[in-house]
Chain A
Amino acid sequence: MQNVIQLANINKHYGHFALDNINLTLPAGEIMGLVGVNGAGKSTTIRILMGLIEADSGSVEVLGHQLPDAQVAAKRQVGFASEDMRLYKHQDLKWHMDFVRGFYPEWDADYARMLLQKFRLNPTQAIKGFSHGQRVKASLLLLLARRPRLLILDEPTTGLDPVARSEMLEELADILRDENRSVLFSSHNTHDVEQLSDSITFLHDGHILASQGIECFLDKWRNVRCTGQATAEALAELQPAHVRQNGSVWHIKMDNFQPSVLEAIKAQGLEVVDVMRMSLEEIFIATVKKDARYEH
Chain B
Amino acid sequence: MPDQLFLSQTDNRPMYLQVVEQIKLKIMAGDWPDGHALPSIRELAAATKVSVITIKRAYSELEQAGLIITRPGRGSLVAEGMGQDALRHQELHHHIVKLLEAADKLGIDNHTLQQQLAEALKQRQTPPASE
A interface list, Cβ under 8 A from B:
29-31, 169-170, 173-179, 191, 195-199, 213-215, 218, 277, 279
Contact = CB atoms under 8 A, between A and B. Distances in A.
B52 interface: yes
Interface in B1-39: 9, 12-16
Nearest to A31: B51
A285 to B, nearest CB: 17
B96 interface: no
A196 B43 CA distance: 13
A195 B52 contact: no
B42 A176 contact: yes
Contact of B14 (A169, A196, A213, A277): A277
B70 interface: no
Interface in B50-96: 50-54, 57
Contact of A277 (B12, B45, B49, B57): B12
Kindly name the residue among A29, A199, A215, A277 whose own CB sees the greatest number of chain B CB atoms within 10 A: A215
26 contacts: A30-B52, A30-B53, A31-B51, A31-B52, A169-B49, A174-B46, A175-B46, A176-B46, A176-B52, A177-B42, A177-B43, A177-B46, A178-B42, A179-B42, A191-B9, A195-B9, A195-B15, A196-B50, A196-B51, A198-B51, A214-B51, A214-B54, A215-B14, A215-B16, A218-B14, A277-B12
Given A177-B43, A215-B57, 9 more contacts: A169-B49, A176-B42, A176-B46, A177-B46, A195-B9, A198-B52, A215-B54, A218-B14, A277-B12
Given A31-B51, A198-B53, A215-B54, A176 B14 contact: no
A195 B49 contact: yes
A173 B46 contact: yes
Interface residues of B, number: 17
Kindly name the residue among B15, B43, B51 whose own CB sees the greatest number of chain A CB atoms within 10 A: B51
A213 B16 CA distance: 13
Interface of B: 9, 12-16, 42-43, 45-46, 49-54, 57
A150 to B, nearest CB: 16
B14 A170 contact: no
Given A215-B14, A218-B14, A277-B12, A197 B51 contact: yes
B45 A176 contact: yes
A92 B51 CA distance: 35
A214 B50 CA distance: 12
A29 B52 contact: yes
Given A176-B42, A177-B42, A179-B42, A213 B49 contact: no
Contacts of A174: 46
A215 B49 contact: no
A197 B45 CA distance: 11
Contacts of B9: 191, 195
A217 to B, nearest CB: 10
Given A215-B57, A218-B14, A277-B14, A195 B51 contact: yes
Contacts of A177: 42-43, 46
Contacts of B46: 173-177
Nearest to A278: B12
Contacts of B14: 215, 218, 277
A151 to B, nearest CB: 15
Contacts of B12: 277, 279
Kindly name the residue among A176, A195, A197, A277 whose own CB sees the greatest number of chain B CB atoms within 10 A: A176
